[in-house]
Amino acid sequence: MTLKYHLVWIPKYRKHILSGEVSGYLKEVFQQIVEEYEFRIDAMEVLEDHVYIFVEVPRRYPPAQVEQIMKSVSARELFKKFPKLRKQLWAGEFWSEGYFIRSAGDKGTADIIRKCIEYQTHEENSLQLHMLVKS
């Protein structure tokens, strides 16, 4: 049995550092994480200042542990690959402490979450997204 979680989190100080090579490498790291932990990414979007992931995980992982795994492993790997990022994030932490997480138990909720993540990069679709969530 598995559970599905929608997660959102931001870099420390909401820095706009998740673009270009950093964004591409972060997506690779997330793929490595899900393979190692037997997770499955249903939808993902990495924007300059935040990450959206809809992930399916084995029941043995509580929500906070899923968040902790994704953030800690990705931070370690990003600092290793891009050491200059430490200068932009002077506290030595890549991600902000907070995060958003919610579970998705039915197909309807899962479909809405997928569409919300898909629409994150399309500002012109914001009205459509609002209407989608309302319905």
Multiple choice CATH, 2-106, 3.30.70.1290, 3.40.50.620, 3.30.870.10, 3.30.460.80: 3.30.70.1290
CB-based burial of residue 124 (10 Å sphere; 0-12 exposed, 13-18 middle, 19+ buried)? exposed
Distance CA 72, CA 94 (A): 9
**C-beta atoms surrounding 39 within 10 Å:** 22
Q: What is the structure's pLDDT at 108?
A: 63
Bridge partners, 9 (sequence order): 51
Bridge partners, 41 (sequence order): 55
Low-confidence ranges of the chain (pLDDT < 70): 106-108, 119-135
Q: What is the structure's pLDDT at 106?
A: 67
Q: What is the structure's pLDDT at 77?
A: 98
Q: What is the structure's pLDDT at 114?
A: 72
* CA dihedral sign, ordered 48, 35, 62, 74: negative
Q: What is the structure's pLDDT at 110?
A: 73
pTM over 0.85: no
* CA dihedral sign, ordered 115, 120, 124, 126: positive
Distance CA 135, CA 133 (A): 6
